[in-house]
Chain A
């Protein structure tokens, strides 16, 4: 899996958009960018993934730069329940060593 770099923690006000950056400057052409989050005491939850194009689903949007060296996960209207650790992962798929989860970003939504 590609090496990714994320800020350790971020705060965001409830109701505002939360923008979580991720650096993956060494990502290779066949590696996707995946985002997961882990709410306290639960297993990680899949959010979204993309290769080159921006993606949007019911949970979030993913903006990938044209050179694919970085991306931003956007939670459009953050709620208190979005407080979690968010993991950005670059991977070519469900390989033998699974997904490599780094330290992630601890997002704290403030009321």
Chain B
């Protein structure tokens, strides 16, 4: 597709359940990021994938959070044993990343998945 696609757009889950959020980046974009945005707050970096390199997981808030990126394309963010504080909009972004040069087009964000833990 033309943009970054995220699914589902909305997810309501019960506390303690696991959830999977999906991100389909722009074809050919080697860099993929996950961010989290709580209500009224700024964006919080979670994890970064670059090509086939090991991901940078330094932003993940706890070991209940994990992410993978299969074949350098689609990525899934998994939250195990969800808690109410996990409620937020989860945003995915992708970009061209050319060996440290800044992409001329910046990052393209998806519309996000609004997660509500009840």
A residues near B, CB below 8 A? Answer: 32, 34, 36, 42-46, 49, 91-94, 96-104
Contact = CB atoms under 8 A, between A and B. Distances in A.
A96 B102 contact: no
Q: Of A34, A96, A97, which is in contact with the most chain B CB atoms at under 10 Å from its CB? A: A96
B65 interface: no
Contact of B58 (A34, A43, A97): A97
B91 A97 contact: no
Contact of A98 (B33, B102, B103): B33
Given A96-B48, A97-B56, A34 B106 contact: yes
B42 interface: yes
Contact of A36 (B97, B102, B106): B106
Contacts of B102: 32, 49, 91-94
A45 B106 CA distance: 9
A43 B111 contact: yes
Contacts of A44: 43, 91, 93, 107, 109
Given A93-B100, A93-B101, A94-B102, A101 B111 contact: no
Interface string B101-117: 11101111111100000
19 contacts: A34-B106, A36-B107, A43-B4, A43-B112, A44-B91, A44-B93, A46-B108, A93-B101, A94-B95, A94-B102, A96-B48, A98-B35, A98-B48, A99-B43, A99-B107, A100-B45, A101-B35, A101-B43, A102-B42
Contacts of A43: 4, 91, 93, 109-112
A101 B31 CA distance: 18
